[in-house]
Amino acid sequence: MVGESHICSAWEEAIVNPVITVENLRKTYESITAVDGISFEVYRGEIFGMVGPNGAGKTTTIECIEGLRAADGGTLRVLGQDPVHNGRAVRQRIGIQLQESNLQPRIRVWEAMALFASFYQQSVDWNALLEQMDLQAHRHVFYEKLSGGQKQRLFIALALINDPDIVFLDELTTGLDPQARLNMWEMVEDIRDRGKTVFLTTHYMEEAERLCDRVAILDQGHIVALDSPANLVKQLDAPLRVEFEPVGPVALGPLQALPTATHVEHHGHRVIAWGKGDPFIVDVVQTLTNQHIRFRHLQVAQPSLEDVFLALTGRRMERGQ
Amino acid sequence: MQSLSKLALVNAKLYIREPAAFFFTLIFPAMLLLLFGAIFGNEPDPAFHSTRGFIDMETPALMAIVIASSAFMGIPIAIASLREHRVLRRLRATPMHPLAFISADLLVNFSMTLMGAMLLILAGFMAFDLQFHGAWLLLLVAFTASALTAFSVGYLIATLSPTARIAQTLGMVLFFPNMFLSGAAFPREMFPESIKRISDLMPMTYMVNLLQAIWFGQPWSEYRTTFIILVLTAMGGLFLAVRHFRWE
Ligand SMILES: Nc1ncnc2c1ncn2[C@@H]1O[C@H](COP(=O)(O)OP(=O)(O)O)[C@@H](O)[C@H]1O
Ligand SMILES: [Mg+2]
């Protein structure tokens, strides 16, 4: 009986209890309040993202959770423990990729893997990890001779070396070319699919939208929104934008008369129409066909997280840096 | 324990791959000895009690230079550079015990310094008719205490220096006066009185005197105070260095 209830509660704990709990986290540097009382939870097996412009407080938050910086206020729990007081115990079970760090310039790739593996009570076969990160051919290369992308992959490999329950990735695709970024995204999804929890930060909205199960949008030390990217966009209730280039003259009246349309205007050679809901696209195309208006270069722009940020803060992400 | 031996092994490899530290600690002191020997020879000299030659005096003195090279140049530059480039931060993001890192670093630096001293002594015996009248074990203890005292100063310089460049500057400010004024590079017997007075202010002077006294088998009473002070400062210094070690 005792054994059974024990198993039951352990199982319940695994699915009900979050792996990370942040309550009212606060951190100030001299005059700057970098993180201003934020709270959220991260659940097992999800990719949780924290997105926001540079200086929003992402690194401060993630490093407090990792136990590398001491918070000025609030409560933190990582895998049920305090990451500062039980720092070394927590770090046995998590993997960390820092936004900015290096290894010894003349350490070889394989030496770094073997050294880091020795820090943990349990570690995976790091040769397989190098294979997976496409670094096997570079195992004898000095760290200083690696390219930016190779260094980044080595840091991911080091973050996975203890088969961690939670992997923390701070700006993992900064400085990567588009192809390398795509590969990195696939790798992160792969980590999640193997049952790990991923906590990542990024200042690229499209990265958060593509990769995260849930995102917290951070701005000036506050969480301004937290949900799945799809829900955030849906709640925004922003209009769809349909653009096309008519061949010959076109009257805007019939388009403006559509019940789903909110606004239609000429923009140089092009016509831009805003409207609500997916039927709007069909309505526009049907109207054009019925009116025998020929068109080319039709584009549909869905609202994105970028629009969510704009709506919530009144600033554009990229320019608001 | 496993990570301590792994760290020490990796640190030893990294040390050997760094040409400057390797040269100044392992090669340079022996080279200096051979050079001095070629210039001054090792004939008994009235300046050194009539029974000792220049090389007899220089060999124990140069042991202090090996220590100073590690302590004031090697350690501060290496540690400040690892901190400046955020290598220490990455190591801290693991369950590695901080003491394991510092112990491994200390162990490797001490081993290399000891090796540098042994190469120096070997060169002295092979090239010259070197005299030794002391006890090797006592010499080893005095050498160890001197090294640990100087190393703890080295770690404290690293703590004070935000960058490797500043660590290098501070290290040189300590290294050169100590080297030239302590009797390590030139025997104190050659100094005029005024320089001798400045020499008395150099901490390394006491290390040089102690190593020479033990080397020539002087009675214990002659260096007991220096010996005890050095052992105590080694322990106190290491405690301070570990306590104030900065990871970022
Ligand atoms: N160690 C520090 N000392 C002083 N200010 C800091 C420090 N780290 C971060 N800050 C400041 O705190 C704010 C948040 O920074 P950070 O957490 O790095 O944001 P993000 O990772 O979102 O770019 C910024 O204004 C930054 O300048
Ligand atoms: Mg950051």
Ligand 1 center to B248 CA (angstroms): 15
Tokens coding B41: 């020879």
Selection from A222, A217, A223, A244 nearest residue A307 by Cα: A217
What distance in Å separates the CA atoms of residue A299 and residue B11, rounded to the nearest whole number?
59
How confident is the model over B40-48, as a mean pLDDT? Answer: 80
Mutation test of the interface with chain A: which of B11, B13, B94, choosing the one with the most A Cβ atoms within 10 A? B94
Mean pLDDT taken over chain B: 91
Nearest CA to ligand 1 atom 5: A29
Rounded to whole angstroms, what are the CA distances from B235 to A292, B75, B228? 93, 18, 11
Specify the pLDDT at position A78. 97
Q: Flag if A106 and B94 touch (Cβ within 8 Å).
A: no
Please give, one letter per residue, the 3-state secondary structure of A220-274: CCEEEEEECHHHHHHHHCCCEEEEEEEECCCCCHHHHCCCCEEEEEEECCEEEEE
ipTM score: 0.90
Nearest CA to ligand 1 atom 25: A55
Domain ranges of chain A: 2-93+165-233, 239-302
Residues in chain A: 321
Terminal Cα-to-Cα distance of chain A (whole angstroms): 58
Specify the pLDDT at position A299. 86
Tokens coding A95: 């993997």
User: For residue A8, which amino acid is it?
Assistant: C
Q: Flag if A107 and B94 touch (Cβ within 8 Å).
A: no
In the DSSP assignment, the letter for residue B248 is -
Contact list in A for residue B13 (CB cut-off 8 A) is 111
Question: Could you tell me the pLDDT band of residue B44, with boundaries at 50, 70 and 90?
Answer: confident
Ligand 1 center to A58 CA (angstroms): 8
What distance in Å separates the CA atoms of residue A226 and residue A40, rounded to the nearest whole number?
9
Q: Which of A102, A104, A119 sits opposite B14 (nearest CB)?
A: A104
Mutation test of the interface with chain B: which of A66, A92, A107, A118, choosing the one with the most B Cβ atoms within 10 A? A118
What distance in Å separates the CA atoms of residue B186 and residue A120, rounded to the nearest whole number?
50
- pLDDT tens-digit profile, chain A (321 residues): 444 555 555 555 555 679 999 999 999 999 999 999 999 999 999 999 999 999 999 999 999 999 999 999 999 999 999 999 999 999 999 999 999 999 999 999 999 999 999 999 999 999 999 998 899 999 999 999 999 889 999 999 999 999 999 999 999 888 788 888 898 999 999 999 988 999 999 999 999 999 999 999 999 999 999 999 999 988 887 788 888 888 888 888 888 888 888 888 888 888 888 888 778 888 888 888 888 888 888 888 888 888 888 888 887 776 443
> Would the CB of A55 count as within 6 Å of ligand 1?
yes
Going by their DSSP bridges, the two strands A197-202 and A166-170 should be labelled as: parallel
Does B82 have pLDDT greater than 90?
Answer: yes
Q: Tell me which of 3.50.90.10, 3.20.10.10, 3.40.190.10, 3.30.70.100 is the CATH number of domain A239-302.
A: 3.30.70.100
Phi, psi for A85 (deg, rounded to 5): -70, -35
Specify the pLDDT at position A321. 39
What distance in Å separates the CA atoms of residue A127 and residue A8, rounded to the nearest whole number?
37
Nearest CA to ligand 1 atom 11: A34
Same fold, A2-93+165-233 and A239-302: no
pLDDT digits (tens, 9 = 90+) for B8-25: 999 999 999 988 888 989
Does B90 have pLDDT greater than 70?
Answer: yes
Is A202:A195 a contact under the CB 8 Å cutoff?
no
Contact list in A for residue B86 (CB cut-off 8 A) is 98, 100-102
Contact list in A for residue B247 (CB cut-off 8 A) is none
Q: Which of A89, A111, A158 sits opposite B10 (nearest CB)?
A: A111
Contact list in A for residue B88 (CB cut-off 8 A) is none
Contact list in A for residue B95 (CB cut-off 8 A) is 88-89, 91-92, 119-120
Q: Flag if B86 and A100 touch (Cβ within 8 Å).
A: yes
Q: Flag if A98 and B96 touch (Cβ within 8 Å).
A: no
> Would the CB of A27 count as within 6 Å of ligand 1?
no
The residues near A289 (Cβ < 8 Å, ≥ 6 apart) are none
Contact list in B for residue A105 (CB cut-off 8 A) is 85
User: Rounded to a whole number, what is the distance in Å from the CA of B88 to chain A's nearest CA?
Assistant: 8
> A interface toward B at CB cutoff 8 Å?
66, 68, 88-89, 91-92, 96, 98, 100-107, 111, 114-116, 118-120, 155, 158
Is B59:B138 a contact under the CB 8 Å cutoff?
no
> Would the CB of A7 count as within 6 Å of ligand 1?
no
β-pair partners for A51: A202, A217
Specify the pLDDT at position A2. 45
Specify the pLDDT at position A13. 52
Nearest CA to ligand 1 atom 18: A59
Give me the CATH topology for the region A2-93+165-233: Rossmann fold (3.40.50)
pLDDT digits (tens, 9 = 90+) for B159-179: 999 999 999 999 999 999 988
Does B248 have pLDDT greater than 70?
Answer: yes
Specify the pLDDT at position A228. 95
